Amino acid sequence: MSPKEVKYKIASFIRKSRIGFIVEKIRIKYVDYLTSALEIILSATVGFLIVAVLLYFMGYDPYEVFSILFRYGYGNTSYLLSKSVPYVMSAMAFSIPLLAGVFNIGGESQLYVGAFTSLLVTYYTANPVLGLLAGLLAGGGLGLFISILRVYRNINEVIAAIMINWTMYFLLVYLITGTYYDPRMPHQSIQVPKSAWLGEFISPWGRIKVSFILAIIGACVIYYILYYTNIGYLLRVSGLSPLSARYAGYNPRKAILYSMLLGGAMAGLGGALFIIGDVHSIDTTMSTLYGLGFTGIGIGLLGRNHPIGIIFAAIFFSGLLIGGQWVELKTGAPPQLTDTIIGIIVIALAIPYAYRMLISMVRRWRIK
Amino acid sequence: MIEDIINMLSNTFTTMTPLILAGVGEIITERSGVVNIGLEGIFILSSFTTAVATFYTGNPYFGLLLGAFVGFLSGVLHGAVSVYLRGDQIIAGIGYNSLAYGLSLMIMITLWQSYGQSPRVEKIPSLSIKVTQGSAIIISPVTILAIFIAIGVWWWLFKTSSGLKLRACGEDPRAAEAMGVNVFRTRFYATVLGATLTGIGGAYLVVGWIGRFTKFISAGRGFIALANVAFSNWNPLMAIVGGFVFGFFDALSIYLPIKLQSEYQEMFTAESSLFCTIPYMATLVIVAIIMKKIKMPRALGKPYIKE
């Protein structure tokens, strides 16, 4: 074969195969990918820079703080991965409804009820599968409730979700301190029986919890539903343009109901996985669960509302959160610096127009 | 009985003030077409700043002023993001809430090495009006200020030409532009003004009511203020009524357990957190009842793109 023929064969192979399709897709959409990457990198940089300045003025050495944050945050792979489980799920609770154009701030309470019902079910039946199923259903039910209020009573879903979040918070504190506390340790709830714990297995990267694998499977299932089924198409079309969805014969209201049901179910499953697979009980001030749902919002946005992106974003954020606690131990700097970084990243991610403006400016400069 | 009513009234006057101030501020912002979900964050950050300023100067009026200034700065941030940079207003607000929570706790831990609350600070003295022997309605000067601000804003929005221009930006920005209104600038100023009023509300939480900064000082109150905006149908006068109604349930959740405890001579432990759910459930139910009939500004939440 002459070199020309070889070249031709390779070219035709690339064109025909799946790789060729992917290469072509990247070639067409490279500006989109570039903007996404730029958005993520720039917003994270801005977040870290602002917090570095704050730390400097508060009397800490930002270099030392950040080196501890990254060294300890990402040092222990198995802990990092098990910590990211509830975040993967609560981020999807925010992102799935967002694709359909609804803001689900209620991931927090959906996670609470999922965790609590799964705790009760596994306590009485000692069956982890039933527990996970109960958490899934409870979270989904609460998500559906918010979307019913939105669709049939026209209530702003943000207000409804926050009110339900606080109601559930205080209700659970009441239930745990009043009825379901552990008689041996009164500041904790009843425990998941040992036989129902989700175990862990040994892999080349250290011990990996079964709950992490289940979370990955959950994300993949959601990816399949969103991008390869009719329901997913309905969600995405009604999110991009409710009007065109209606012209195409879809019902955007149905999209809201489905998306909140799916999102709530994911948050509930996240709570269940966290309880059965990791912590096994809730403390009476709810500090085990508080904030898991809110952090999920930032993770969903950083993961570009894509289930696979969310997995990586969740691992990144849980590294930050673990590192934040180490920073407090080592330097005395408050761990809330991670909350601040996350807040700044979210604000920076809200302004995609700014990045597009930046790219077009760079392009104009290159043409000159 | 009459004493209970007077006590509840006096408590409601305390709890309704931040809801009225933030509600009226948000009405100005939303009438111009911008949503600011970050009321909760402004409450937290401005109440924290007020606590710090009052702690170090001992002057609650200065603290109030600085709280309003923090609200002003938050408004500048949200206005720049949502008006000039065409950002997603809801997401920016969510991010601001997280930022404010992290920032204030971070500085609180550095300043006072405390995770839950700040030390006590000076409060603005309240006026007390004697009704019967031994019972009086206690009302803070900030509450009276809030009611006057609400009336003034109503007059400005509905009776002056600049108020009409502001409402035009929220109903139909293109028509407003054709009328010769600078939509960007109007929306920006409205956002800043609304956030400043919310900042006063946040400062009031410390210097008018609780007397210290705590981690859960706001506890969803910013979102109850948002519910108040919808309840009032974007009318500042109705926001006073809404503030009274929502504030009543807030006061009830504080007053009811105390009353029941003294009545039955027993301490509540677990049940006390059950009473805390009252304001949230009441808000949800009230909003569910009235929400069908409201009419929101038509261009609300949509960034204006000039052609």
Q: What is the pLDDT of residues A24-33, one digit of tens each?
A: 777 777 777 7
Provide the shortest C-alpha distance from residue A338 to chain B (in Å).
7
A135 near A268, Cβ under 8 Å?
Answer: yes
Residue B133 lies in a domain: no
Q: Which residue of A has its CA nearest to B77?
A: A347
Residue B42 lies in a domain: yes
Beta pairing, strands B135-139 & B127-132: antiparallel
Does the CB of B116 have a partner CB in chain A at under 8 Å? no
- Segments forming the whole domain that contains residue B45: 2-121+140-293
Residue B188 lies in a domain: yes
Angle, alpha carbons A229-A233-A239 (nearest 5°):
150
Angle, alpha carbons B293-B296-B299 (nearest 5°):
150
Q: Which residue of A has its CA nearest to B113?
A: A334
Does the CB of B103 have a partner CB in chain A at under 8 Å? yes
* Burial class of B295 by CB neighbour count within 10 A (0 to 12, 13 to 18, 19+): exposed
> What percentage of residues in chain A have a pLDDT greater than 90?
21
The per-residue pLDDT for B117 is: 78
Task: Give the C-alpha separation, A315 to B128, whole Å.
Answer: 56
Q: Which chain B residues are Cβ-neighbours of A147 within 8 angstroms?
A: none
Does the CB of B145 have a partner CB in chain A at under 8 Å? no
Q: Which CATH number belongs to the domain containing residue B34 in this structure?
A: 1.10.3470
Q: Which chain A residues are Cβ-neighbours of B98 within 8 angstroms?
A: 294, 297-298, 339-340, 342-343, 346
CB-CB under 8 Å, A347 with B274: no
Within a 10 A sphere around the Cβ of B13, how many other Cβ atoms? 22
Size of interface A-B (CB pairs under 8 A): 160
Distance from the Cα of residue A331 to its chain's centroid:
29
Q: What is the rounded average pLDDT of the residues A296-324?
A: 88
Provide the shortest C-alpha distance from residue A24 to chain B (in Å).
31
Task: Give the C-alpha separation, A138 to A140, whole Å.
Answer: 5
For chain B, the straight-line distance linking the first and the last C-alpha, in angstroms and rounded, comes to 64
CB-CB under 8 Å, B94 with A105: yes
Nearest Cβ partner for A159 among B110, B281, B287: B287
B106 near A361, Cβ under 8 Å?
Answer: no
Q: What is the rounded average pLDDT of the residues A51-66?
A: 83
Q: What is the rounded average pLDDT of the residues A288-297?
A: 85
Q: B113 by DSSP, 3-state: which?
A: coil
User: Taking 70 as the threshold, does the pLDDT of residue B81 lie above it?
Assistant: yes
Does the CB of B90 have a partner CB in chain A at under 8 Å? yes
Q: Which residues contact A166 (CB under 8 A, 6 or more apart)?
A: B219, B220, B276, B277, B280
CB-CB under 8 Å, A342 with B269: no
Q: What is the rounded average pLDDT of the residues A340-344?
A: 83
The per-residue pLDDT for A368 is: 67
User: Taking 70 as the threshold, does the pLDDT of residue B162 lie above it?
Assistant: yes
List, for residues B225-266, the tens digit of each pLDDT value: 888 888 888 888 888 988 898 889 888 888 888 888 877 777
Residue B225 lies in a domain: yes
* A60-69, A280-289, A332-341, B129-138, range with the lowest pLDDT: B129-138
Distance from the Cα of residue B233 to its chain's centroid:
16
* B104-108, B116-120, B227-231, range with the lowest pLDDT: B116-120
Task: Give the C-alpha separation, A117 to A137, whole Å.
Answer: 9
User: Tokens in use for A138?
Assistant: 């409870």
Does the CB of B280 have a partner CB in chain A at under 8 Å? yes
Task: Give the C-alpha separation, B124 to A259, whole Å.
Answer: 48
List, for residues A151-205, the tens digit of each pLDDT value: 888 888 888 888 899 899 989 988 888 888 888 887 888 888 888 787 778 777 7
CB-CB under 8 Å, A346 with B91: yes
Q: Which chain A residues are Cβ-neighbours of B95 within 8 angstroms?
A: 298, 343-350
CB-CB under 8 Å, A165 with B87: no
Angle, alpha carbons A178-A181-A183 (nearest 5°):
120
Q: Give me the number of domains chain B comprises.
A: 1
The per-residue pLDDT for B94 is: 85
The per-residue pLDDT for B152 is: 92
Name residue B213's amino acid.
Answer: F
Residue B275 lies in a domain: yes
Long-range CB pairs of B299-303 (<8 Å, 24+ gap) are B299/B33, B299/B169, B299/B170, B299/B171, B299/B172, B299/B173, B300/B30, B300/B33, B300/B34, B300/B35, B300/B170, B301/B33, B301/B34, B301/B35, B301/B89, B301/B90, B302/B33, B303/B82, B303/B83, B303/B86, B303/B87, B303/B89
Q: Which residue of A has its CA nearest to B112?
A: A334
Q: What is the rounded average pLDDT of the residues A58-73?
A: 83
Residue B271 lies in a domain: yes
Task: Give the C-alpha separation, B158 to B24, whole Å.
Answer: 14
Q: Which residues contact B45 (CB under 8 A, 6 or more apart)?
A: B70, B74, B100, B103, B104, B202
Give the closest residue to B209 by CA, choosing from B87, B67, B28.
Answer: B67
The per-residue pLDDT for A114 is: 92
Mutate to test the interface with B, among A109, A159, A301 (most CBs of B within 10 A): A159
The per-residue pLDDT for B292 is: 65
* Burial class of B8 by CB neighbour count within 10 A (0 to 12, 13 to 18, 19+): middle
Model confidence band, residue B11 (pLDDT cutoffs 50, 70, 90)? confident
Nearest Cβ partner for B98 among A156, A179, A343: A343
The per-residue pLDDT for A140 is: 93
Residue B302 lies in a domain: no
Q: Which residue of A has its CA nearest to B229?
A: A159
Model confidence band, residue B196 (pLDDT cutoffs 50, 70, 90)? very high
Mean pLDDT for all residues in chain A: 85
The per-residue pLDDT for A363 is: 77
Model confidence band, residue A350 (pLDDT cutoffs 50, 70, 90)? confident
The DSSP H or E segment spanning A131 is helix A128-153
Q: Which chain B residues are Cβ-neighbours of A173 within 8 angstroms?
A: 270, 273
The per-residue pLDDT for A222 is: 92
Mutate to test the interface with A, among B34, B42, B103 (most CBs of A within 10 A): B103
Mean pLDDT for all residues in chain B: 85
pTM of the model: 0.86
List, for residues B31-77, the tens digit of each pLDDT value: 888 888 888 899 999 999 998 888 888 888 888 889 899 999 999 98
ipTM for this model: 0.86
A112 vs A206: which has the higher pLDDT? A112
The per-residue pLDDT for B189 is: 92
* A22-36, A62-76, A158-172, A319-333, range with the lowest pLDDT: A22-36
Q: Which chain B residues are Cβ-neighbours of A354 within 8 angstroms?
A: 85, 87
For chain A, the domains span 79-297
List, for residues A104-159, the tens digit of each pLDDT value: 888 889 999 999 999 999 988 888 889 899 999 999 999 999 999 888 888 888 88
Provide the shortest C-alpha distance from residue A80 to chain B (in Å).
22
Does the CB of B97 have a partner CB in chain A at under 8 Å? yes
Beta strands of B55-121 (E only): which ranges? none
